[in-house]
Every structure is written in structure tokens, then in C-alpha cells.
Amino acid sequence: MSMLIIQSLINGILMGGIYALYSAGFSLIFGVMGVVNIAHGDLLMLGAFITFWMFIGLGLDPFLTLPFSVAGLFVLGYLMQRLAINRVVGAPPIMSYILTFGMHLMISNLALVAWTADPRAVTTAYSGANLAFLGLTLPWIKLITFLISLGVIGLLYWLLNHSQTGRAIQATAQDREMARLTGIKVDRIYALTFGLGAAITGLAGSMVVAFQDVEPGMGLPYTIIAFCVVVLGGMGYIPGALIGGLILGIVGSVSTMLFTSGWSIAITFFLLYLMLLFRPAGITGKGIVE
């Protein structure tokens, strides 16, 4: 029994890393421009499909397609911000919910027309292969995804605090007017941030398709998980995504083991609710509170 608990804990930690990876971009975008991006899951879906089609068409290994989904999603995110989302920066958050919900409808349904509702999966020679020791199993792909997740979040955190662009992004997030006065091109920073957030999300999508089936309508549930993860870890605080992701992953997995998978979802959401009541700035206390 205790082995099972340890295994479920490991599953939860790995899942948590994956949650964190696809929530980091969401947190970045919210933290900098206060925009809740409901089309977040659709960006993830696009990243997944870039990988899928390159795998099918060119036979490229999913990991080799990462640069393409990162670049593709960066451009798309940059344009989305410039053309539409910039109009709701600074407006009440509800405006960004609805605007990006409209975008969610557009992206997911265009994808549906283009690619049909077939669930797709990338099956490589190493799909499902795992590292087994002491009676425990760690699927390689999830392990690598977890490490990439740590790397990306670390890099992002470092970039924001130590690079010039990163500091400009931070300054803009803290005080838009002040940033403008010091000569930062605020609109460009916003577009850059959105592009960066989209690029990380595209990367997450490319990783997800390596172990899970994807289809054009998959986006909204991923958005919802990202929202929960980010609120739990603290809105706008990047390492919070990792903490929030791990909590959701571990609680979900261990309560599935102890009770049933159905109750595990109820427990996870009740826990999320209670945490919000008692720690509205997220578990780290470093989130933005309005």
C-alpha cells in the first residue's frame, strides 16, 4: 500500500510539473497586463498541432519541433496582442475574459474546420517507455516534460529579473505610466510579453501531445486548470505556477489513490475554494490582490 502512495505521489508531482508548464504563460500575461486569457488553452492546442503535423508530415521527433511551435506561437501571440488585446489592457478584467473568449471560439472552431474533431496522438518509439526502479515507474516523456518545466520557469524568472527586457517588463507591470515616462515603449513590451507567454504555452502544447491525445476543442479545460493553478500559486508570481501546479497535481493524484477519481476532483476544487478564502494572495502570499 505504501508503495502505491509513493507511486501516486510521483504521478502527482509529474502531473504538477506539466500543469505548471502550461500555466506559466498564463501567469506572465496576467501579471504584466492584467489580462485573463481564456484563449490560453487554444494556444496550447495550436502548439500541439504544430508538433503533430510536423511529426506526421516530416517525421520530425516531437522534441525537434519545439523551436517551431515556440516561434509560431510567439508571432501569433504578438499579433493577437497588437491587433486586439491591447484595446482591453487597463479595462476591467471582465472585458479581457470576453474578448479572449471570442478568440477561443474563433481559434478552436477554425481548427475544427481545418483538422476535424478526430482526437490525435503522437506515438513514437519511446512513447509510454518508462524508467523502472524499486517497483516504481516513471514515464520518460513526463519526466523530461517535468524537467523542461522547471527549466522554463527558472529561465523565465531569471529573464524577468536580470535581463534588460525583463526589467522593462517588470517596470511596465508595476506602473505603466512611470514606465512610459522612463522611455519604455509600453505597447511593444505588452506585445512582447504576450508573445512570450504564448510561446511558452505553445511549447507546453508540444509536450502535451507527446503523451496525451489532442483535438481542436480541447482548449477550455486547459485554460481552466491554468487559471486554478495560477490563482493557487499567486496571480502574476511566476514561481507560484510551479507551486500551484504541484499542489493540484499531488492532491488530485493522492486523493484518487485514497478515495476515487470522482471524489478527487471534488476534493481538489473544495481545497482550491478554501485556500482562496483563507489565502487570497495565493499559497505563497506573493500574488497580486486587487
Partner 1 sequence: MKLKKASIVVMALALALTLGTAAPSLAAKDFTFGCAVPLTGLFGKAGNLVKDAYTLWMETVNAKGGIAGKYKVRIIFYDDRSNPQTSAKLVEKLITKDKVDFLLGSYGSSQVMAASAAAERHKFPYISGGAASNKLYERGFKYYFGTLGKATEEVRGNVDVFNAMKPKPKTVAIVGSNIPFTALACVGYKKYAEKYGFKIVHYELFPIKLKDYNTMLLKAKSKNPDILLVGSHLGVALRVMKAMKEIDFNPKAVAFSYGPTVPAFVEALKSDANYVFAASEWTPALPYKGPVFGTAKQFHDRYIKRFGRAPDYVEAASAGGCVVQQVAIEQLGLKPGKVGKAERVKLMEKLHALDLNTFYGPIHFDKDGANREHPPLAVQVQNGKLVTVYPAKWAEKAPMYPMPAWKNR
Partner 2 sequence: MPVKRTGFFIGLLVAVLFALLPFAGESYYIQLLTVIFYWIGLAACWNLMCGYTGYIDFGSAAYTGIGAYVAGIIMVRSGLPLLTTIPLAGLGAGVIALAVGWPTLRLRGAYFAIATFALAEALMQVAEEWTGLTEGGIGITIPQRLEEFDYYWLYLFLAALVVAITWWVEHHKHGYALKAIHEDEHAAAQVGINTHTIKLKTYVTSAFFIGMLGALEGSRLGYFKPDDVFDVHITIKMVIMSLLGGMGTVLGPVIGATFLQLIEDYLGAQFLNFYLVIIGAIIVCVIIFLPRGIVGSTIERLRLKFRRQP
The residue ranges that bind partner 2 (CB under 8 A) are: 30, 36, 84, 87-88, 91-95, 97-99, 101-110, 113, 220, 224, 227-228, 231, 235, 260, 262-263, 265-266, 269-270, 272-273, 276-277, 280, 289-290
Please tell me the distance from the alpha carbon of residue 29 to that of residue 191, in angstroms, as a whole number: 10
Among 2, 59, 117, 162, which residue interacts with partner 1 (rule: CB under 8 A)?
117
Q: Confirm or reject binding of residue 96 to partner 1 (CB under 8 A).
A: no
Q: Confirm or reject binding of residue 102 to partner 1 (CB under 8 A).
A: no
119 binds, among partner 2, partner 1, none (CB under 5 to 8 A by kind): partner 1
17 binds, among partner 1, partner 2, none (CB under 5 to 8 A by kind): none
Q: Confirm or reject binding of residue 252 to partner 1 (CB under 8 A).
A: yes
Please tell me the distance from the alpha carbon of residue 130 to that of residue 17, in angstroms, as a whole number: 17
Amino acid at 117: A
Q: Output the smallest distance, CB 236 to partner 2, in A.
A: 10
204 binds, among partner 1, partner 2, none (CB under 5 to 8 A by kind): none
Q: Output the smallest distance, CB 270 to partner 2, in A.
A: 5
The dihedrals phi and psi of 81, each to the nearest 5 degrees, come to -65, -50
> Nearest 5 degrees, angle CA 215-CA 104-CA 14?
55
Q: Contact at 8 Å (CB) between 171 and 184? A: yes
90 binds, among partner 1, partner 2, none (CB under 5 to 8 A by kind): none
Among 23, 149, 193, 253, which residue interacts with partner 1 (rule: CB under 8 A)?
253
Please tell me the distance from the alpha carbon of residue 245 to that of residue 15, in angstroms, as a whole number: 8
CA-CA distances (angstroms) from residue 116 to 7, 76, 119, 271?
A: 37, 22, 9, 37
Q: Contact at 8 Å (CB) between 200 and 156? A: yes
Among residues 192, 170, 251, 202, the alpha carbon closest in space to that of 21 is found at 202
- Tally Cβ neighbours within 10 Å of residue 14: 22
Grid coordinates given for 26: 498564463
Q: Confirm or reject binding of residue 212 to partner 1 (CB under 8 A).
A: yes
Please tell me the distance from the alpha carbon of residue 283 to that of residue 228, in angstroms, as a whole number: 12
Q: Confirm or reject binding of residue 20 to partner 1 (CB under 8 A).
A: no
In this complex, which beta carbon is closest to partner 1, that of residue 118 or of residue 290?
Answer: 118
Q: Confirm or reject binding of residue 132 to partner 1 (CB under 8 A).
A: yes
Contacts to partner 1 by CB under 8 A = 4, 7-8, 11-12, 15, 109, 112, 116-121, 123, 127-128, 130, 132, 137, 139, 142, 211-213, 215, 217, 221, 225, 249, 252-254, 256-257, 260-262, 265
